[in-house]
Amino acid sequence: MKIGIDAMGGDFAPLNEIMGALSCVEECSSKVDDIVLYGNQSTIENVAKKNQLDISKLSIVNCLDAVSMQDDPTEILKTKKDSSLYRGIEDLKNKKIDAFASAGNTGATLATSTVLLGRIPGVSRPTIAGFLPTTKSTPTLILDVGATIDQKSRFLLEFALMGSIYFQSVYNKPNPSIGLLNVGEEETKGTDELREAYKLLKNSSLNFIGNVEGRDILAGTSDVVVCDGYVGNVILKFAESFIPLLKQKVKEYSQKSIITKIQTAISIPALRGALQGLDYEEYGGVPVLGVNRISVVGHGSSTPKAIKNMLKRSIELANSNLIDKIQSSIKLNT
């Protein structure tokens, strides 16, 4: 089992990538033979040295170029063939590694994975999902979160099929419930494409519970929430901005008087503890669903812990038969 990681992706690369890879090697030595850092070798070695990190247990594939967050995803394939991202996905395609993970440019990972690895037969659009916390014991998986902004019923059905299998594989829950994100519960709600998607989902082999609304996502009404990539992307980014708002409001309250200042000060441990339940780090990363190999994307601002979890998720996925399962489900339902 060999896992590749884009050492130049992510806002804190390569430091967080190195630290996460080292933690993963330590925790999962029995499950992984090698973690391969794709990136500029001298940069990686210098950062490791400066931070007194022993990277002798990691491999490095030297890549002279890197993809930035600003790079146009469709250009990578033409202009950045020596980037850590391209080289890693190329090695994944050629089976030199079993999975590849990047916390860098998500659009670039999606586009490069789609072209180099190819789509699973029957999949129109590979998709990326996101987890959101809920009031229940498991989070909600929402997809698509930005890969495909066009709302088409066929795409929505495929997202549902892939999301169902992915949720099942992560939480070991057979037949996860699927909700279609809409403006009301009734079958007649929404655009023509949403109404058509409702019918397709109803007639599929999925555990479709009907339309769900914005308030159902965090309530965990369904395990999987299906939507187009425009609304999914907006929701995911919107969700991430709640904690900063809450912190600001706590700060404003504390500044009202000496009493509120004391009240706030003694509240910090409880607040911090409660907010840990909303921690995105735990989910680590999500695979590009619908391509022929395991290509995993992580959050740009991934901490070392998030990188470690992204690599652990990559190992799990490389050991699963996710791709075969998606292929069978698409074949059965379309």
| Residues at the contact surface with a second copy, assessed by CB under 8 A | 133-135, 146, 149-150, 181-183, 190-191, 194, 213-219, 227, 229-231, 233-242, 244-246, 248-250, 252-254, 256, 260, 263-264, 266-267, 269-271, 273-278
Cα(326)–Cα(317) distance, integer angstroms = 13
* Cβ 150 to a second copy shortest distance, Å: 7
Q: How far is the C-alpha of 94 from the C-alpha of 261, rounded, in Å?
A: 59
Question: Which residue number, 202 or 249, has a Cβ lying nearer to a second copy?
Answer: 249
Q: Which CB sits closer to a second copy, 219 or 332? A: 219
Q: Under a CB-based contact definition with an 8 Å cutoff, are residues 242 and 279 in contact?
A: no
Decide whether 263 or 319 has the Cβ nearer to a second copy. Answer: 263
Which CB sits closer to a second copy, 12 or 230?
A: 230
What the block records as the tokens of 124 is 């129109």
Nearer to a second copy, 245 or 258 (CB): 245
Shortest distance, position 133 Cβ to a second copy, whole Å: 7
Nearer of residues 116 and 132 to a second copy, judged by Cβ: 132
Give the helix/strand (H/E) hosting 294: strand 294-298
| Chain center to CA of 54 | 29
Rounded least distance, CB 68 to a second copy, Å: 14
CB of residue 214 to a second copy, shortest distance in Å: 3
What burial class does residue 77 get, using C-beta atoms within 10 Å of its C-beta: 0-12 exposed, 13-18 middle, 19+ buried?
Answer: middle
- Tell the smallest beta-carbon distance from residue 273 to a second copy (Å): 4
**C-alpha span between 9 and 38 (Å, rounded):** 10
Measure Cα distances from 151 to 40, 107, 313 in Å. 40, 18, 29
Residue 206 three-state SS? coil
